[in-house]
Structure 1
């Protein structure tokens, strides 16, 4: 069997006979890696059918009404935030991929899950020895829970062990350390990651075992390995967080058994990952004095959970011909757009000013409802005039200067009122037809509805 060398794009899996700087399929740069493969002569299906060389028997089809539903139910992980993100717990036979930067808490969280599941769980460690896993388990207080540990990277041995032990949940840390002896590539290569994940996926579906894969991330923050890995699994969970901050955010990027809008907030402590039941109070700074200029409080909606964050801004005269626009925790293009709308529609002179925007706590904000808060923070910093104490806002800003409706108004209002905000700026018409209970809860709260950004700036900076 002669061997040949091919170059595979680690981003999309496209193959080329020679190395290229840019992938012609997905357009990514410097993603081609070398793989050595053995040539196998295989006849096509038509040739095998004519020659009678196909020994495969036809598969059995099933009617959907004959297929059982969720009779087995889900398995609770013992961590409420994780169960909510998964849609109620782990589904038997599912494949879950957990990604995140080194040290963000992936292994810690999964050790706590295995501590809850006990002897129903098997951990496959390709990065740590059993002694190291035991040390971490003792630190977290789960050493006596009874789950098994297998220090192995050969996917054939792992598969045989799973079939012998028959656990309900298997945690593999990490998928990039596994290899298949049938392939010539090194562990972590595109072919190895794809083959090992496919083998574990077939095993999970056939035996009804929930498999959790831990994945490394690239310097851009994407999960390392071929893009097809994310297509193969049922659920992709991404850990986010600043290593200089104690909190972590777990976000569902893909979920075949639940919503992808849910997020979980955790705090890294010496006892492991602890759930943050009230993230709004966690992210807000506790200022006894008046709020300084350039700070605005925004109510976001992550799935079904309202969450309050503070957006800070600093505006200063620029010594450069092209002023700087620096954003941290929010998309820089969005900030450029808001600066243009503020200049053109609200009459603020930002053409010669450097603008810096930061979301406190290291939170990454993606929801359009944060537009109004970012714009008011920039306006407050430019005019050096603070927003009134107890003021919060939410709303999307359009290119025409309109403040647009965002969903979840009642939930946002309840969260803001619960935390003591008595002046709320929001889009006009958002509270259309409030219930009696909603009207009762708003007594003593000044809800200001605005139509345009210029009107919002005038109301906020009285």
Structure 2
């Protein structure tokens, strides 16, 4: 076999035989790295077999159930056999602790293999004792030779495999200087793991680190290969961990789940009410507004704060935490036009108090109310919430899962819910229709 060279883009996996500064596929600069490879001899292929859709049988054991119902629904009613899940997060956030928590909640009859290239067996034992892990079929190893690991798993057929982490795995076909975290190494390891998982119908969970920009370290193609991509995030203000799905072939994307990190491990925070504990959430406050957000299959209460103050700069500041600043700028423009409020000479700060990031457009009305309240220095009643998307024409638009949002508001004893459409619900008197941004003035006059 003859050795050859080619250059791979770490962002989009574009390949070329010579180095170039800018990738022609994704337009990224200085992202092509050299990869040595061996030209393979021609191998005869197996005969392709096609299966008729109606003849394919689904085994009820194809899904691994999780005893924690919230976590089970998060994955889409369990972990699908043959799926590959990528779990990523900052160092020390609790990725390994989450794997132990998951193992403890998987059906007791399932055999779990855990391969760690970052900790010794003694360190893993100490963590298991601290978390009071009670699992009979939980096997540990600190071997990081992927070829040997897959050969072992082909013989012993575990029910699920954990790799902690992909950056520590080594592959025998990659020649390098001893480094185990090279981009080519991670790419070929991911390829082999996915191929093994699909061939033997064994689910695999891979831990991956993130880089300085907050993205998963390594070639972007890894995220395309796997079935599920999860991010484990940290809310520093409330000391909560947030599990977020950004890709899921078997369930809902943008789903989130809150965890409390305790001395004995993780605990799911139910209904997000605990994230507001210690606060009087029903006080009337200037610039603070409640809404019901939807992320994936979950609906939960959030509080939005806004501060509007005269600017001392030529260009006023626009700061947003947890919300896309471009959305905030759009809402500011709508307020300027349809409420005749000149916000061009004011600094505006917008924040979600729980420290989470929300993409849901249904919180637009609450953002507008918080900004307008701070501008006119008028308090919003603490037992009200606002649901709706704001269009560029100033109209309040309906959003998805409106019925679920209103029912969620009732759990928190919200007496008035402002929304854009009639809902078929028992306590209709609690729902107030607001059709245009101009009607926001009337709310403060009541």
Contact between 1:393 and 1:425, CA under 8 Å: does it hold in 2? yes
For structure 1, list consecutive stretches of 5 or more residues without a partner in the other structure: 44-53
> Which residue of 55, 69, 93 maps to 1:80?
69
User: TM-score, normalised to structure 2's length?
Assistant: 0.92
Counterpart position of 1:347: 340
1:405 to 1:274, Cα distance in 2 relative to 1, 3 A: same
1:107 to 1:274, Cα distance in 2 relative to 1, 3 A: same
1:152 to 1:461, Cα distance in 2 relative to 1, 3 A: farther
1:164 partner SS:
helix
Q: Distance in 1 between matches of 2:441 and 2:180?
A: 56
Deviates more, 1:3-12 or 1:313-322: 3-12
For structure 2, list consecutive stretches of 5 or more residues without a partner in the other structure: none
Q: Distance in 1 between matches of 2:330 and 2:278?
A: 27
Q: CA RMSD in A?
A: 2.2
1:461 to 1:412, Cα distance in 2 relative to 1, 3 A: farther
Give yes or no for the alignment of 1:138 onto 2:129: yes
Counterpart position of 2:142: 151
Contact between 2:6 and 2:34, CA under 8 Å: does it hold in 1? yes
Contact between 2:287 and 2:371, CA under 8 Å: does it hold in 1? yes
Counterpart position of 1:357: 350
| Pairs aligned (count) | 442
Deviates more, 1:297-306 or 1:235-244: 235-244
Deviation at 1:27, TM superposition (A): 2.3
Give yes or no for the alignment of 1:120 onto 2:111: yes
Counterpart position of 2:155: 164
2:394 partner SS:
coil
Contact between 1:409 and 1:431, CA under 8 Å: does it hold in 2? no
Contact between 2:260 and 2:269, CA under 8 Å: does it hold in 1? yes
1:230 partner SS:
helix
> Which residue of 430, 437, 441 maps to 1:453?
437
Q: How does 1:272-311 map to 2 (within 5 A)?
A: 272-283=265-276, 286-287=279-280, 290-311=283-304
1:271 to 1:74, Cα distance in 2 relative to 1, 3 A: same
Q: Distance in 1 between matches of 2:116 and 2:278?
A: 40
Deviation at 1:347, TM superposition (A): 1.0
Contact between 2:282 and 2:381, CA under 8 Å: does it hold in 1? no
User: TM-score, normalised to structure 1's length?
Assistant: 0.89
Deviation at 1:93, TM superposition (A): 1.6
Deviation at 1:132, TM superposition (A): 1.2
Counterpart position of 1:179: 170
1:234 to 1:374, Cα distance in 2 relative to 1, 3 A: same
1:69 to 1:146, Cα distance in 2 relative to 1, 3 A: closer
Deviation at 1:104, TM superposition (A): 2.4
Contact between 2:307 and 2:349, CA under 8 Å: does it hold in 1? yes
